[in-house]
Structure 1
Amino acid sequence: MSLASSRLRAAQPSALRWHSLPLVRLASLAVFAAVVAFIVLTFRDYGISNDEPVQHTYGQLLLAWYASGFTDDRAFHYINLYLYGGLFDLIAAGLEPYVPLPLYEWRHLLSAGFGFVGLIGTWRLAKLLGGEGSGVVAVLLLAFTGMYGGAMFTHTKDVPFAAAMVWSLYFITALAGEMPAVPRWRTVLGLGVAVGCALGLRVGGVFAVLYFVLTIGAAMVLLRDVRLPLLLLPRLMVAGLIALVLMAVTWPWSVLPPTNLFKAMGAFSHFSFDLKTLFNGQLLPIDQLPSIYMPEYLVIKLPEVTLLGLVAALVLVVLALGKRVRASRVETGLSSHRMLAASMLTYLPLALAILVPIAVAVLTDPPLYNGIRHFLFVLPPVTVLAALGLVGAWRALHQRARLAGAGFALAALGLFLFNASVLWRLHPYEYVAYNQIVGGTPGAWGRFEGDYWSASLREAALMLRHGVEREKPPAHPYKVSVCAEDVQVLTYLGPNFEAVEDWEDADFILTALNVGCDAAPGLPYATVSRMGLAFASARDQRLRHMPVEVPDQDDDGPDLDAPEVSQNGGGSPQGTGPQVAKAKP
């Protein structure tokens, strides 16, 4: 435990501490057991995301590079995937032959496993900064954040990266708490592994390196020791070597040659292609988004209880700074200065992990899309800060008046239960959840990104399959066109369906309504909906392929009294959103 956290606990009256450590530890174990049960029971519910087929191919190509004795370099030219680390995809592809699960179910289970490791890292970080109680609260908040707990199964690049980053942050924080002493080998080795895994997933792992460098620089100033880097250098070289090896093994392109790492950084800072994204009701090119895109999405995607915790944390910080300023007028000794420095160093990495990515997104204005997805790694540190705020505010209020503390706790619990009910109603599409700042998910629909992964196509495909199974078996397989990636529905449709490109040739059209397919023709056959919102649709076009008998007509021309019949169905499904990705017309 850090010096700042130790002093905080020592200063609290025993009545205010989470003094029953066995009960709190039991609560931690119960929460983690519930998360494991949720993963095991629900990982089959989640659909295939748009990127998964190419990501898995990338993992297979990396394996082929190793199996060929480093001669098969197709992985280094595959689309733009070579700009990403392959840690997750290597594991997924390497273990696939030995796992008795369908491919995408295995990938979703593995991704959720990474997410679970991230929850453990979040618990460790919050516990380090605020005690065991804060750790429990942080895990609950993050697990019930739709963009983390609901994204664990399908965001197979973003969630593993977030998990590696929160562990990097934990070890940086632990090292900061140990300074100016030489860090323990456990901390050094953990830091190297965590940063190496982050870089083995995304070049964004350089954020962790930046947090660490800034923390060391601040320690030199606060501890008034310019020799500190030289003292730490021998062990930090070991951590750096471990990180470099892990990055090279899981992302070999980055070191062949080593300058490729900088090429990747430059590519993502100017990354752009022909894509539009929905923001505040406007369909905008991704290179023309306002600078507030990322912070606004962060604010409207966080659960209400997390926002309450952030407000409480801000108030506590302001009060603590005021108290510190008043105390500094009478405390001028060396011990007072060292205590203040230790406290600042302990919390500095957490502040950097929140503020630096937001500042980069605002100041550099990179091309973005899919809401908060590319900055999902900010959610664990934000949630830790919110947990510290909730627990700290409860303790402060409880100390002054038990009734005030109880009222605050009940308000937080009410918001938490409300958020949990929303995720329950959205399952398995929890990641589309929005808070009440924009009117919840219904208020955000059509104004902000919805099911951008088209994960609801799984459910639409199963509804179509079960529907036609109740009909007379077809003489030939039904032709189906998909307004997304074919594999997202063919995986679930069975042998009675085959894919075609052209909508005109299809018996059925399956559309994920978030990706601009709201103009698909045909009669409504099945619609996937949650909270009154249409996520995906199956459209029936069989009528247009049936021969139409035209009655004999007089020489005078057609029967003008005959009613006009449309074979294109009922038009656009209700609740569809504007185009944010390519459609297959």
Structure 2
Amino acid sequence: MSKILTSIKRHFRFFIIGFFVLYFFLGIFIFRHYGISWDESTSRDNGLIVYQYITGQNSNLLTYRDRDYGTAFELPLVMIEKETNVTSSLQIYYLRHLLTFLFFFVGVVFFYKIALGRFGPGIAFLGVIFLVLSPRIFADSFYNTKDIGLLSGMIIAVFTLLSFTKKPSFTHVVFHSVACAFVVDIRLSALIILPITCGFFITDTFLLSARHLWRFRIVMLSLFLVLFFGFAVLFWPYLWNNPMGNFMIAFSNFSHFLRLGDTVFYLGNYIPDKYVPWHYPLVWIGVSTPLPYFTLFLLGVGFTVHKLSRNIFGFYKKNREGLIFLTWFFGPLIMVIGLNSTLYDGWRQLYFIYPAFLLVALIGLEGLLSYTKKRYLLKIVVLVVGIVSILNVLRFMTLNHPYQNLYFNELAGGLENAKQQFDLDYWGLTFREGLEHIASNDNSKTIPVFFAHGHKRNIDILPNDDKKRFVVVDSPQDAKYILSNYRWYKDRNNYRWDEYLYTTPHPKFYSVTVDGVEVMTVFKPAGGTL
């Protein structure tokens, strides 16, 4: 047995490499399976406006409605699009989905490196499994450039943070300042990386370093801040003509984002997005995260707080990474709740704290393994329950591909109950399947369709010959087909046509179901156009 274990340990690195290779090719194989999310066209427009500005084509950025959006990730996507001469809408979105996945893949690699430095290869690999087998994150990693771009960038920034605080060389200063500037220029919520960097760097200086090095370390920290601000301006063209003034405008708008002006469906009620209760992100985290990870996270918090209360300074010296992970998770969460920031569409704006959530969960796993080390029966029970639970997550992801973004755990009471409590397909990704079914079953040269509620650009994910046949109309009465993802379907105060759409019986032409629950329906009104 010992020889077998020794052989496994010796070859474990190749196993890890093999896993990443398989995961890479899985992404390459399935990136074309996903539809267009609600924000994708707008996100591309944001990058396109900046691209036109920096290439001297026009100065529309200066008056553009969303000019204060960070485009550190969107701009490279557009630049690659232009360099590869991709012109059809289908190929443009395929390219974006591929590049978004590749950036997330890089983030997963850096996540493994962070976990490896704290836990060792076995637990670090389980952390990667947890991250990849997080249904909502998995799906979003192909089309959600904003939130997954931020998540991936934050992982890289924390990795460079750990390197910088341990060994503040000039190389580490440059890498960390670039990583921080890049992620902050994706979305300003990543600014949390600055107080984390400064706080832990200064604490390390006076607790862990030789006293004669404090001047050198303070110089390195000052250099980091200078380089960070320089790179932040460089990566964000909106700041070029007025760095401080435009930054303050962007920060003010970010703190209380009010441009959506819609309602969210939360705990069975429609609530204006600016009035969502403080517990909104907490409940969403609770019902949309796989229960095994959530349980381990709670254990990780408990183990950390218990050890911290016994010996603060001793714990810091041995477990500073754990405190960084906790600060990474709870810092933004407390700020969002304290500032009453506008949230909608679940907790996706906070996805960048999810890697920290999993790293704390790994602390819980480490503590649980230690506790059950000599309790063999308990260890077997824990392993069986854990494996079965994770396999159940994998089952959902496989059977309901490509709609992993509609995952809810057992606390939500099943997807049918979740449908009565929370927004489901707020991205509108299911519309693609409905459109494809219409296109393959209707040979009409012109097909008027109405989305309730979707974006007119949903047809951009279709092959050009099919796309040309669809005409998106503004009224369900003018449509041959009505596609509904059931968003806001009970909120009749906002949309005058809801009564026609949902109270008048219309024949169902096609439905998309997830776990047996209808999440998108194509209606074909008897008196429809044509």
TM-score (norm 2): 0.88
Structure 2: runs of 5 or more not aligned: 490-496
User: Which residue number corresponds to residue 236 of structure 2?
Assistant: 251
User: Which residue number corresponds to residue 488 of structure 1?
Assistant: 458
Q: Deviations over 1:508-553 (max 9, x none)?
A: 222222243875264321111111222222222364446xxxxxxx
8 Å CA contact retained: 1:248, 1:254: yes
Deviating more after overlay: 455-464 vs 293-302: 293-302
Residue number among 237, 241, 250 corresponding to 1:264 in the alignment: 250
User: Which residue number corresponds to residue 42 of structure 1?
Assistant: 30
8 Å CA contact retained: 1:278, 1:284: yes
Change (3 A) 1:459 1:515: farther
- What is the CA–CA distance in structure 1 between the aligned matches of 2:42 and 2:367, rounded to whole Å? 45
User: Which residue number corresponds to residue 446 of structure 1?
Assistant: 420
Aligned residue type for 1:488: N
Residue number among 448, 464, 467 corresponding to 2:438 in the alignment: 464
8 Å CA contact retained: 1:173, 1:347: no
Pairwise CA distance, 1:286: 1.2
Change (3 A) 1:168 1:491: closer
Pairwise CA distance, 1:19: 9.1
1:26 aligns with 2:14: yes
User: Which residue number corresponds to residue 516 of structure 2?
Assistant: 532
User: Which residue number corresponds to residue 79 of structure 1?
Assistant: 65
1:292 aligns with 2:279: yes
Residue number among 335, 352, 359 corresponding to 1:360 in the alignment: 335
User: Which residue number corresponds to residue 45 of structure 2?
Assistant: 57
8 Å CA contact retained: 2:307, 2:315: no
8 Å CA contact retained: 1:192, 1:238: no
Q: Deviations over 1:338-382 (max 9, x none)?
A: x64422433321121011011112222211111111101011110
Q: Deviations over 1:135-166 (max 9, x none)?
A: 10111101111231121012111101111111
Change (3 A) 1:186 1:435: farther
Q: Deviations over 1:54-91 (max 9, x none)?
A: 2112211111111118xx321233222x2221122211
- What is the CA–CA distance in structure 2 between the aligned matches of 1:186 and 1:411, rounded to whole Å? 45
- What is the CA–CA distance in structure 2 between the aligned matches of 1:394 and 1:344, rounded to whole Å? 17
User: Which residue number corresponds to residue 493 of structure 2?
Assistant: none
Deviating more after overlay: 507-516 vs 460-469: 507-516
Residue number among 426, 451, 462 corresponding to 2:400 in the alignment: 426
8 Å CA contact retained: 2:198, 2:221: no
Pairwise CA distance, 1:195: 0.5
Residue number among 223, 235, 249 corresponding to 2:220 in the alignment: 235
Pairwise CA distance, 1:235: 3.1
Residue number among 284, 293, 301 corresponding to 1:314 in the alignment: 301
Aligned residue type for 1:313: G
User: Which residue number corresponds to residue 10 of structure 1?
Assistant: none
Pairwise CA distance, 1:226: 8.3
1:206 aligns with 2:212: no
Residue number among 144, 151, 173 corresponding to 1:155 in the alignment: 144
Paired residue total: 507
8 Å CA contact retained: 2:139, 2:405: yes
Deviating more after overlay: 239-248 vs 440-449: 239-248
Residue number among 307, 312, 317 corresponding to 1:342 in the alignment: 317
Residue number among 349, 360, 384 corresponding to 2:359 in the alignment: 384
Q: Deviations over 1:408-437 (max 9, x none)?
A: 222211111111112223321212211111
Say what the alpha-carbon RMSD is for the aligned residues. 2.7
User: Which residue number corresponds to residue 494 of structure 2?
Assistant: none
Pairwise CA distance, 1:121: 1.9
8 Å CA contact retained: 1:198, 1:204: no
Change (3 A) 1:30 1:518: farther
Q: Deviations over 1:221-270 (max 9, x none)?
A: 64598886632243334444543344323311134312222221111212
Alignment of 1:385-404 (within 5 A): 385-398=360-373, 400-404=374-378
Structure 1: runs of 5 or more not aligned: 1-13, 329-336, 547-585
Alignment of 1:107-256 (within 5 A): 107-176=96-165, 178=166, 183-219=168-204, 222-223=207-208, 230-256=215-241
Q: Percent identity?
A: 20
8 Å CA contact retained: 2:206, 2:214: no
SS of 1:256's partner is coil
1:281 aligns with 2:268: yes
Pairwise CA distance, 1:209: 0.7
TM-score (norm 1): 0.80
- What is the CA–CA distance in structure 2 between the aligned matches of 1:423 and 1:18, rounded to whole Å? 34
| Moved segments of 4+, more than 4 Å | 17-20, 223-229
Change (3 A) 1:442 1:544: closer
- What is the CA–CA distance in structure 2 between the aligned matches of 1:21 and 1:285, rounded to whole Å? 54
- What is the CA–CA distance in structure 1 between the aligned matches of 2:251 and 2:212, rounded to whole Å? 31
- What is the CA–CA distance in structure 2 between the aligned matches of 1:130 and 1:545, rounded to whole Å? 62
SS of 2:487's partner is helix
Aligned residue type for 1:252: P
SS of 2:451's partner is strand
Change (3 A) 1:545 1:157: closer
